[in-house]
Amino acid sequence: MTEQTTSTLQQYLEKAYALAYKAQRLISVDRAAYRIFKEIKELIGSLEEYIINNIEYDSVEVGNKLKYYEKQLALIEEKKDSLLLRFFRQMSEHPSLPQNLDEEKYIINWMASKGYEFCSYDKQEALQKLDEVKEGGVIEEEDPLTGLDIWCLKVRK
């Protein structure tokens, strides 16, 4: 294997590790992220084997797989953002919500500070998300803006 090929392989490996981390963070949003995470881990194993044993590999195929995983994770990330916005819209429907506050930014920061991946006024919806993730728990909280009960999903990492 040439030095340039080894360098490209190292770059692919670094990108695969970054995508695996991103997929692991998104598992609570979509089951597809878990499948992608497993596939990326397999790819990482192959790339490490190529490097250790100095084996030739199909650069185009590896590059295409990484681009595919990157696009799929971007779609899941968009879904996560839309879930947060849906939660925000649920909150906005409550008349006790202050109108002069940047509510969306506040609630997203609040969820992030608590380590929550998803929150809902509907306990069943939160439990359904937990069933999809299979790791973590649903925690009952008091909505920081309205004082109403909400259920939030906290995923074990």
CA gap 122, 141 in Å, rounded: 12
* CB neighbour list of residue 87: distance below 8 Å, 6 or more residues apart: 107, 111, 118, 119, 120
Q: Where are the alpha helices (DSSP H) in 54-133?
A: 59-92, 103-114, 123-133
pLDDT in tens, 72-92: 988 888 777 676 666 666 665
pLDDT in tens, 110-149: 888 888 888 887 788 888 888 877 778 888 888 777 677 7
Torsion on CA atoms 57, 23, 37, 133, rounded to nearest 10: -170
Band of residue 14 on the pLDDT scale cut at 50, 70, 90: very high
Torsional class of 134: left (φ above 0), alpha (ψ -120 to 50), beta (otherwise): left
CA gap 118, 103 in Å, rounded: 16
Among 39, 121, 27, CA closest to 80:
27
In the numeric block, which tokens belong to residue 128?
A: 């359904």
Biggest CA–CA distance in the chain, Å, is 66
What is this structure's pTM?
0.54
State the DSSP H helix or E strand holding residue 26, giving kind and residue range, or none if neither.
Answer: helix 3-26
In the numeric block, which tokens belong to residue 153?
A: 């999903």
User: Would you give the DSSP letter of residue 121?
Assistant: S
Q: What is the mean pLDDT of the chain?
A: 80
